Amino acid sequence: MPLQRFWFQTAAFLILVWAGVALVMWSTEDYVFSPEKTLALMENAPWHANENLSEAKRQAYLDKVIHSVLKLDFNQRNEMREDGLETMDRFFKSLSVEEKGEYVNRTVEENFKAVMKGLEKLPAEDRRRIIGGIQREMKKKAAKDSEMQIILDQSPAEFEKSFTKDMGLFFKEAPLSMKLEMAPMLEGMQGRMQGMRMR
């Protein structure tokens, strides 16, 4: 009998523990972010099914998507892009001009500002190494743009000076499509800078 009571109490205790775990998972679901969850939010944007969705509801949902994107670290953003580029592209194209501007301003531009602040804090040698890598990456992807090519063909020292002095203005005036294309590079830079700071 005592043994039976022991197993009954143990089972009851385990049920309570798992019920508590389930409750915590349910109550914190809105605070857990992942590439899969963010892509699901983009995929299920309510205006895909209802073009007449009110502006207030569109704004509230866009805020939710942006908040989810901002909570991802650079590795998660890269994973999201690798697994869901088509979903991201469809979501972005479904936004109005104003919504596209807001999405870029609150995701990519904030990331850019963080990168520029991070570069300022790095030792000169590390900063040179990262900016040299940026110059090489941009050369690979640069379109046949004579002005851009002139900047990219500068010596490493001249490019570093131009980058740190004029990049803010360039990024501010760049079209939304270019800012989105720069997002992976900016996230890669953040990863490299974090690695340098941890050494």
pLDDT tens track for 104-115: 888 887 777 777
Q: Please report, for the chain, the start and end positions of each structural domain, with discontinuous segments joined by +.
A: 21-95, 111-199
Residue 67: predicted pLDDT: 92
> What's residue 40's pLDDT?
94
Q: What values do phi and psi take at 153, rounded to 5?
A: -85, 0
Pairwise CA distance, residues 100 & 18, whole Å: 43
The mean pLDDT of 75-97, rounded to a whole number, is: 89
DSSP code of residue 106: I
What percent of the chain is predicted at pLDDT more than 70?
A: 64
Give the 3-state secondary structure of residue 181: helix
Full-model pTM = 0.62
Separation between Cα atoms, residue 162 and residue 170, nearest integer Å: 10
pLDDT tens-place string over residues 12-62: 555 554 544 444 434 434 446 789 999 999 999 999 989 899 999 999 999
Strand, helix or coil for residue 34: coil
